[in-house]
């Protein structure tokens, strides 16, 4: 279909669309937090210390405490940076500014009540790194879907790698292009993830700044790194460098960095398109150097972009059937809400397999999805 035709069909679409995530036992609250690493100068800007920007998605165990909060999916400069992508799919350039997320809003008093501590539940931590040049915000629905299963999920903006990073103080950091820099970026991202983990631990031990603003406490004995595309390479790279992180997931990403030859002992899952292994030789070579429990898991009816929020964003537009079938050719037949369910379900069960050392949780979760298959696994069958 000609792009203009899809755009024409969209003329009637409402100004704002609340994008649904996959539900779970928990409601989800979110905080945005900038962190500065005073021990590192920014590799891309020697005049400043390295800064990162986080969205912290946190489960709320008592949803009766939630009132609904609708937030903008992307602030203006970030939404604008996705204009060309939208147009290439026949969508209006400003479409990314019309998406919204519904979150749990807690009153100040309720935040305060979490300070007492002992009864506040603890949840495992998932550090999530986006694809090359992508904004962390392109994974907010995915992060919320995982958080609803009982995990604190932190999505990370890596400045000068992400095309645009918009800090809460209004400052905007733009990338100057990253062509051919994947190896270096993988290592910078891995360092960012270790710094974030240290900082979250520090803040939580201080009992101030970040953690009292969250309705949940982080269980720092149960930490996972994951990411999409280059973020998946970073999740692999951080493992041999940071033993505090127990395991990792690479979603449909080519591997880069020293980890590709050195490997890691921590459990690892390669989750991607059904044919990823056939198209990317790094998955086979990485498989050989993975020394812990490992699995390659394929999802039918997917493309590389299926492992971002894009399918669920598109689905939320309620396109006419004809346009939807065109979109499926670009994004695969497995739709957005189904992808949210699959990614949340398979990842959460993999986390349980890592934390318990048992294969069965992953195995059973995968059996529940006809689109998903474990093609290779070295988990002990217990
Ligand atoms: C480096 O950071 C400073 C301070 O934020 C900023 O003024 C400058 O434009 C940055 N340089 C580059 C190359 O982005
Ligand atoms: C941006 O990249 C161009 C070439 O790719 C280079 O000439 C320029 O100096 C770079 N700018 C900064 C601020 O690094
Ligand atoms: C995964 O399993 C398939 C089928 O059993 C096999 O052909 C392939 O070589 C395996 N891949 C790896 C990386 O072990």
C-alpha dihedral (6, 11, 16, 21), degrees to nearest 10: -30
Q: What is the pLDDT of residue 110?
A: 58
Identify the pLDDT of residue 196: 98
Q: For 3-17, 202-216, 273-287, 354-368, which range has the lowest pLDDT when averaged over its residues? A: 3-17
**Candidate CATH numbers 3.40.50.10310, 3.40.47.40, 3.40.1360.10, 3.40.50.1820; the one for domain 3-377:** 3.40.50.1820
- Greatest alpha-carbon span in the chain: 59
Task: Indicate which residue's Cα is closest to atom 1 of ligand 1.
Answer: 45
User: In terms of pLDDT, which residue wins out, 207 or 303?
Assistant: 303
Structure-derived torsion over alpha carbons of residues 276, 360, 256, 134, reported in degrees to the nearest 10: 80
Task: Note whether 223 and 124 are within 8 A (CB).
Answer: yes
The predicted model gives 262-288 an average pLDDT of: 97
Domain spans of the chain, in order of start: 3-377
Strand, coil or helix: what is 52? strand
Measured distance CA(241)–CA(72) in Å, rounded: 36
> Given the CA of residue 173, which atom of ligand 1 is nearest to it?
14
pLDDT given for residue 112 in this prediction: 43
- Sequence-ordered list of residues with C-beta below 8 angstroms from that of 350, at least 6 positions apart, any chain: 247, 249, 267, 269, 271, 295, 361, 362, 365
Q: What is the pLDDT of residues 2-56, one digit of tens each?
A: 555 555 555 555 579 999 999 999 999 999 999 999 999 999 999 999 999 999 9
Q: What percent of the chain has pLDDT over 90?
A: 80
N- to C-terminal Cα distance for the chain?
49
pTM of the prediction? 0.94
Ligand 2 center to residue 227 CA distance, Å?
28
Report how far ligand 2's centroid is from the alpha carbon of 176 (Å).
6
CB of 375 closer than 6 A to ligand 3? yes
User: pLDDT tens across 47-94, in order?
Assistant: 999 999 999 999 998 878 889 999 999 999 999 999 999 998 888 999
Compute how many other C-beta atoms are within 10 angstroms of the C-beta atom of residue 25: 10
Which of 263, 268, 274, 277 should be mutated for ligand 3, with most atoms under 8 A from CB?
Answer: 277
pLDDT surpassing 70 at residue 1: no
Band of residue 344 on the pLDDT scale cut at 50, 70, 90:
very high
In contact, 250 and 270? CB cutoff 8 Å: yes
pLDDT at 320: 87
Digit-coded pLDDT (tens) for 302-337: 999 999 999 999 999 998 888 888 888 888 999 999
User: Which of ligand 1's atoms lies nearest the C-alpha of 44?
Assistant: 13
pLDDT tens by residue, 118-162 = 567 899 999 999 999 999 999 999 999 999 999 999 999 999 999
Span 351-373, average pLDDT = 97
Instruction: Kindly state the tokens that stand for 214.
Output: 């969250």
Write down how long the chain is: 382
pLDDT at 177: 94
Radius of gyration of the chain (CA): 20
pLDDT of residue 6: 57
What is the pLDDT, as a whole number, of residue 114? 45
List the Cα angle 316/309/354 in 5-degree steps: 130
Return all residues near 108 (Cβ < 8 A) that are at least 6 apart. Answer: none
pLDDT at 118: 57
Strand partners, 99: 17
Helix ranges restricted to H, 207-334: 230-241, 259-262, 276-279, 281-289, 310-316, 321-331
Q: Select from 47, 165, 167 the residue to mutate for testing ligand 1; criterion: most ligand atoms less than 8 Å from CB.
A: 47
What pLDDT is stored for residue 23 in this prediction? 97
Alpha carbons 329 and 73: distance in angstroms, whole number: 25
Band (113; pLDDT cuts 50, 70, 90)? very low
Phi, psi of 152 (to 5 degrees): -85, 115
Residue 170 has pLDDT above 90, yes or no: yes
In this structure, the residues whose C-beta lies within 6 A of any atom of ligand 1 are 45, 47-48
Alpha-helix residue ranges (DSSP H) falling in 280-335: 281-289, 310-316, 321-331
Average pLDDT, the chain: 91
- What pLDDT score was predicted for residue 321? 85
Confidence of residue 210 (pLDDT cuts 50, 70, 90): low
Q: Please report the pLDDT score of residue 91 as a whole number.
A: 87
Ligand 2 binding pocket (C-beta < 6 A) is 176-177
For residue 208, pLDDT over 60 is answered with: no
Q: Copy the structure tokens of residue 21.
A: 């995530």
């Amino acid at each position: 279909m000609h792009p203009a035709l899809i755009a024409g069909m969209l003329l009637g679409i409402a100004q704002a669309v609340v994008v649904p995530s996959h539900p779970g036992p928990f409601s989800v609250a979110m905080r945005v937090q900038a962190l500065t690493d005073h021990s590192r100068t920014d590799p891309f800007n020697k005049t400043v210390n390295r800064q990162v920007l986080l969205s912290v998605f946190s489960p709320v165990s008592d949803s009766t405490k939630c009132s609904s909060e609708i937030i903008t999916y992307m602030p203006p400069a970030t939404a604008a940076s996705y204009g060309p992508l939208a147009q290439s799919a026949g969508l209006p350039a400003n479409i990314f500014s019309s998406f919204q997320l519904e979150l749990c809003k807690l009153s100040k008093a309720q935040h305060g009540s979490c300070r007492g501590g002992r009864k506040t539940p603890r949840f495992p931590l998932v550090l999530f790194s986006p694809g090359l040049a992508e904004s962390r915000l392109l994974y907010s629905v995915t992060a919320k879907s995982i958080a609803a299963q009982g995990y604190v999920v932190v999505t990370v903006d890596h400045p000068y790698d992400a095309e645009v990073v918009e800090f809460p103080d209004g400052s905007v950091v733009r990338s100057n292009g990253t062509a051919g820099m994947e190896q270096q970026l993988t290592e910078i991202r891995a360092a960012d993830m270790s710094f974030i983990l240290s900082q979250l631990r520090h803040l939580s031990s201080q009992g101030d700044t970040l953690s009292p603003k969250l309705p949940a406490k982080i269980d720092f004995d149960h930490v996972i790194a994951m990411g999409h595309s280059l973020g998946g390479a970073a999740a692999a790279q951080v493992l041999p460098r940071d033993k505090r992180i127990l395991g990792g997931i690479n979603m449909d990403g080519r591997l880069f960095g020293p980890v590709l030859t050195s490997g890691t002992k921590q459990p690892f899952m390669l989750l991607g398109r059904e044919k990823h292994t056939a198209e990317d030789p790094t998955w086979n070579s990485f498989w050989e150097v993975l020394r812990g429990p490992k699995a390659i898991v394929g999802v039918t009816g997917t493309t590389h972009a299926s492992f971002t929020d894009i399918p669920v964003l598109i689905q939320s537009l309620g396109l006419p059937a004809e346009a939807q079938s065109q979109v499926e050719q670009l994004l695969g037949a497995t739709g957005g809400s189904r992808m949210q369910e699959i990614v949340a379900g398979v990842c959460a069960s993999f986390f349980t397999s890592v934390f318990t050392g048992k294969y069965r949780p992953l195995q059973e979760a995968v059996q529940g999805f006809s689109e998903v298959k474990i093609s290779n696994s070295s988990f002990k069958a217990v």
